[in-house]
Structure 1
Amino acid sequence: MPPATRSGRKGKIAILLSTYNGARFLRAQLNSFLAQTHENWVLHWRDDGSTDETVEIMRGFAAKVGPERCIESPSSGPHLGASPSFLTLLQENMDAEAVAFADQDDVWLPEKLAAALEMLEDAADAPALYCSRQYLVDEALRGARLSAQHGKAPGFPACLTQNIANGNTLVMNTAAAALVATAGYPADTVHDWWSYIVVSACGGKILFDERPQVLYRLHKTNLIGRARPLHARAMAALRRGPAVYMTMMRRHADALATQAARLPPEAQRDLRRVRTGLRGGLADRATALLCRRFRRCTLLENLLFTYWFLTSPETHPATAPLPGWPAAEPPAPAKLRVR
């Protein structure tokens, strides 16, 4: 039985919602919060510079549920971008019993929070991150199909190659939230991927729920997701080539190196090998690929990853030392988006 139902008060969850011109779909998401079987939640929201009716909708929702259940961030207003906005909310609420990221255009299924708490309860005080499958739907919430399975969460350093923790499903306990909130973040990261990387690298538990808990609305204005079939996304990745993907991997690895003291010995060793490979020649890259779990989930994905890792042009001279261990070099300013 889940740890809390409509009559229970155990497990207070801070729902973190960053909004930006979301008036079209926002009400459906807010109503899905009200439909949760686990009612012990508080919504903390930050508007990222909306010019539509988003702020009015949010303040109207606060008037409906009470200001103690819907709290606007003191940082609300200036445009930061989605991931900095979410991570700002996390820094403001990292002491909560659990934190759940929420996107403005999705719909949560009623058991989402209860299911997350049920699985997180087994982690006790260890850092733990919950995520789940989703139903992928169109703008009108039709045509539901299941997202990919990840029954055995890959962990570190696989998390540097691929994100399996979709932010609209992600829930962290206090220990995991504190790790992510105090870790800083590299330029142009995605908040859910960076959370997955930090918790995995620091030895936390990654709990993947095979039960879908969210209606993930795919539409033309999605920040990350797009309503495109798998073959179209695969062709788009091939056309982009390895540059964006490998640059983001370098940024993640270098930013993670600033947290090296928090990593278990095996993770420190693997991270050093990966960073050396990212700057070195073929032998260094081949050595990095020997790290246990340094791979993507499927065979075809992993073949492409291996080819890109071995052959992509290096952005740092092989003879240069790694930027100070554990310190990381500052990231380049180019705008990147990669999943």
Structure 2
Amino acid sequence: MKKSQILRWHVNKSKVCIMLSTYNGVKYIEEQMESLLAQHEVDVQINIRDDGSSDGTVQKLNEYAKSHPDQIRFIKGENLGVIGSFFELMCQTEPVYDYYAFCDQDDVWKRDKLIRAVTKLQLNQSNVPLMYCSSTQMVDQDLNNLNVWPTLPPKPLSMYNAMVENCCVGCTMVLNPIAFQQVRMNIPSDLTQVIMHDWWIYLYVSAFGEVIFDEEPTILYRQHQNNVLGGSSEGWIVKWKNRWNRFVNGKNHFILSKQAKMFLQLHKDQLSAQQQKDIQCFLNQLDSSWIKRIKYASIMPFYRHASLDNLVLKLIYVLKKI
């Protein structure tokens, strides 16, 4: 790190590294970048990795990097996909900051997004992995408000939820140094077994630390046809129709069990005896008779927050499509 950069930071401000992955995002990237640079009460470093864009994204980001040489680091990479790109960003980010945030390319952050996260994280002084995440204000392409998503989860944000559901939006996540370094040092070798980078991080922190959920929306989460992933403003009928179609087409088959198996293999020695037992049972019972699967599904400790989602979870477990 440059000495000039260290001197630039104010002693009384937290140093936050924002990790931004881009891909053909020139249409909205300027609004996103301006909102990052406008964050107040924190010192911001922005590490950007472009994942092989073919539009004007690289040119636009090079302009920002040249105009903010001490604040922005830009890397032009080959196409790895969203999971690989974010994990590569973590590997290329030095573990020298107070906090680490993830960022998408087409949203707009509220000016107090980072200081709000930092303040809540600082309330917990325990020496464990910590992660902050929040609700988002979903907006259309022109930033008109749609709805708030996700809402405050009604049940604990534990490993027993994270194993089967992700309720933490990646672009709202902020990690403390322990969480960042531990995840960074244990990135899975086979990313095809990982559903999404933010889901994996939620799973890790919920298993070994604490997740802090802020029900106050901290970003304008833009919904448009080019979104890679994101929340949905559609009605529940359309949402469940889409889920059913994905299930019938096999797109979501076995993704939970594959990720659970990878997590157990990678972190078995760190998990408590009870955690190991519960994950192993979750995997082993899939090979039992359908009667035993029904029995296990009815009492398993893993859960989703919504009652209907939880019912579907049990159904796909019995059908061995989890």
For the residues of structure 1 that align with 2:44 and 2:298, how far apart are their CA atoms? 43
| Structure 2, gaps ≥5 residues long | 1-8
Aligned pairs (5 A) from 1:93-108: 93=93, 95=95, 96-108=97-109
Matched, 1:220 2:225: yes
For residues 1-43 of structure 1, the C-alpha deviation after alignment (integer angstroms, 9 at most, x for no partner) is xxxxx97743211100011111000000011112212331100
> What amino acid does structure 2 have at the position aligned with 1:236?
N
Q: Is the 8 A contact 2:13 2:42 kept in 1?
A: no
For the residues of structure 2 that align with 1:132 and 1:153, how far apart are their CA atoms? 15
> What amino acid does structure 1 have at the position aligned with 2:284?
T
For residues 143-175 of structure 1, the C-alpha deviation after alignment (integer angstroms, 9 at most, x for no partner) is 331113234543112112111110110111111
Q: When you count strand as a share of all residues, which structure comes out higher?
A: 2
Q: Is the 8 A contact 2:37 2:44 kept in 1?
A: no
TM-score, normalised by the number of residues in structure 2 = 0.88
Matched, 1:134 2:136: yes
Q: Is the 8 A contact 1:153 1:207 kept in 2?
A: no
> What amino acid does structure 2 have at the position aligned with 1:287?
Y
* Residue aligned with 1:234, SS: helix
For the residues of structure 2 that align with 1:268 and 1:131, how far apart are their CA atoms? 26
Cα drift, residue 250 of structure 1 = 1.5
Aligned to 2:80: 80
Aligned to 2:48: 45
Q: Is the 8 A contact 2:16 2:43 kept in 1?
A: yes
Aligned pairs (5 A) from 1:18-57: 18-57=21-60
* Residue aligned with 1:278, SS: helix
* Residue aligned with 1:295, SS: coil
For residues 130-151 of structure 1, the C-alpha deviation after alignment (integer angstroms, 9 at most, x for no partner) is 1000001000101331113234
Aligned to 1:14: 17
* Residue aligned with 2:257, SS: helix
Q: Is the 8 A contact 2:20 2:104 kept in 1?
A: yes
> What amino acid does structure 2 have at the position aligned with 1:82?
V
> What amino acid does structure 2 have at the position aligned with 1:264?
S
For residues 96-133 of structure 1, the C-alpha deviation after alignment (integer angstroms, 9 at most, x for no partner) is 32110000000011111011111111332210111000
For the residues of structure 1 that align with 2:203 and 2:164, how far apart are their CA atoms? 10
**RMSD of Structure 2 on Structure 1 (CA):** 2.1
For the residues of structure 2 that align with 1:212 and 1:234, how far apart are their CA atoms? 25
Specify which of 200, 206, 213 is matched with residue 200 of structure 1.
206
> What amino acid does structure 2 have at the position aligned with 1:208?
F
Specify which of 149, 152, 159 is matched with residue 150 of structure 1.
152
For residues 53-72 of structure 1, the C-alpha deviation after alignment (integer angstroms, 9 at most, x for no partner) is 1111111112222x221012
CA gap 1:88/1:279 in 2 versus in 1, 3 angstroms: farther
Aligned to 1:209: 214
- Aligned residues between the structures: 304
Cα drift, residue 255 of structure 1 = 1.0
Cα drift, residue 269 of structure 1 = 1.7
Specify which of 246, 254, 269 is matched with residue 247 of structure 1.
254
Q: Is the 8 A contact 1:126 1:175 kept in 2?
A: yes
Cα drift, residue 270 of structure 1 = 1.4
| Structure 1, gaps ≥5 residues long | 1-5, 315-339
For the residues of structure 1 that align with 2:32 and 2:179, how far apart are their CA atoms? 25
Cα drift, residue 285 of structure 1 = 6.2
Aligned to 1:167: 170
Aligned to 2:239: 233
For the residues of structure 2 that align with 1:70 and 1:286, how far apart are their CA atoms? 54
Q: Is the 8 A contact 1:13 1:40 kept in 2?
A: yes
Cα drift, residue 279 of structure 1 = 3.5
Q: Is the 8 A contact 2:247 2:253 kept in 1?
A: no
Cα drift, residue 254 of structure 1 = 1.2
For residues 203-250 of structure 1, the C-alpha deviation after alignment (integer angstroms, 9 at most, x for no partner) is 210110011001000000100125533321111112222744341101
For the residues of structure 1 that align with 2:219 and 2:146, how far apart are their CA atoms? 11
Cα drift, residue 86 of structure 1 = 0.5
For the residues of structure 1 that align with 2:321 and 2:241, how far apart are their CA atoms? 21
Cα drift, residue 179 of structure 1 = 2.3
For the residues of structure 1 that align with 2:138 and 2:236, how far apart are their CA atoms? 13
Cα drift, residue 312 of structure 1 = 2.9
Cα drift, residue 199 of structure 1 = 1.4
Cα drift, residue 289 of structure 1 = 5.4
Q: When you count helix as a share of all residues, which structure comes out higher?
A: 2
Matched, 1:256 2:256: no
For the residues of structure 2 that align with 1:231 and 1:216, how far apart are their CA atoms? 22
